[in-house]
Structure 1
């Protein structure tokens, strides 16, 4: 949960690096909270008639989480040694998401890279940079 809060606090930081743990813990809580807000939409009846409609609670949650999730993904790409522009590959159906998944699963680049020092070496027992 701490990683989720830290990423949310760094919602506008698109530079630097994010370890795998920081990214994947954020992603885990992002999906868990998404399910909770989806259930709240069903309970309170804020979901439309169509199966493709998004409820009020989940819609607001998604908008609030847009920039923090993009920021942590950019930092994760930096940590693996890739540029932000690789986000655009997600526009390619299926293959783009698979490529991003592989990039986010890769280990940190050893040592420093052009986006900063390796956070794993700075704080070995921490999931994020304070």
Structure 2
């Protein structure tokens, strides 16, 4: 849960680098929350839960983009690679590989390695 909250604290921060753990833990908690809200919305057929679902989606949009850009920075790629997602089939698969790849151990143009900065 700490990783999820850290991403929310960096609400619209697109600079720097993010570890794989930070990205994937945010994604995991985000998917759990979305699944619960969607389940409640479908199960109760209440407009209130659909509204909460939409509000939550908008609330985590910028933090999600921010952590994705920082994750791409960790692999020495520009955040503009996120746009590759719109290429059918190849784009999402390529981005998945980039986001799951180990970050560069050495400092790059986006900053020092967050794995070693956090451990120090």
Alignment TM-score, normalising by the size of structure 1: 0.86
Report if the CA contact (8 A) 1:80-1:107 is conserved.
yes
Asked if the contact 1:20–1:105 (Cα under 8 Å) also holds between the matched residues in 2, the reply is: yes
Moved over 4 A (4+): none
Q: Give the deviation of 1:56 after TM superposition.
A: 1.9
Unaligned runs of 5+ in 1: 48-53, 126-130
Distance 1:93 1:36 in 2: 28
Matched residue count: 119
CA distance in 2, matches of 1:105, 1:89: 16
Match of 2:37 in 1: 37
**Is 1:60 aligned with 2:45?**
no
Over the residues paired in the alignment, what is the CA RMSD in angstroms? 1.6
Whose helix proportion is higher, 1 or 2?
2
CA distance in 2, matches of 1:124, 1:23: 17
Partner residue, 1:119: 114
Structure 2: unaligned runs, 5 residues or longer: none
Q: Distance in 1 between matches of 2:107 and 2:32?
A: 33
Q: C-alpha separation between the residues in 1 aligned to 2:23 and 2:119? A: 16
User: In structure 2, how many angstroms separate the alpha carbons of the residues matched to 1:44 and 1:122?
Assistant: 46
> With structure 2 as the length reference, what TM-score do the two structures score?
0.92
Distance 1:43 1:23 in 2: 30
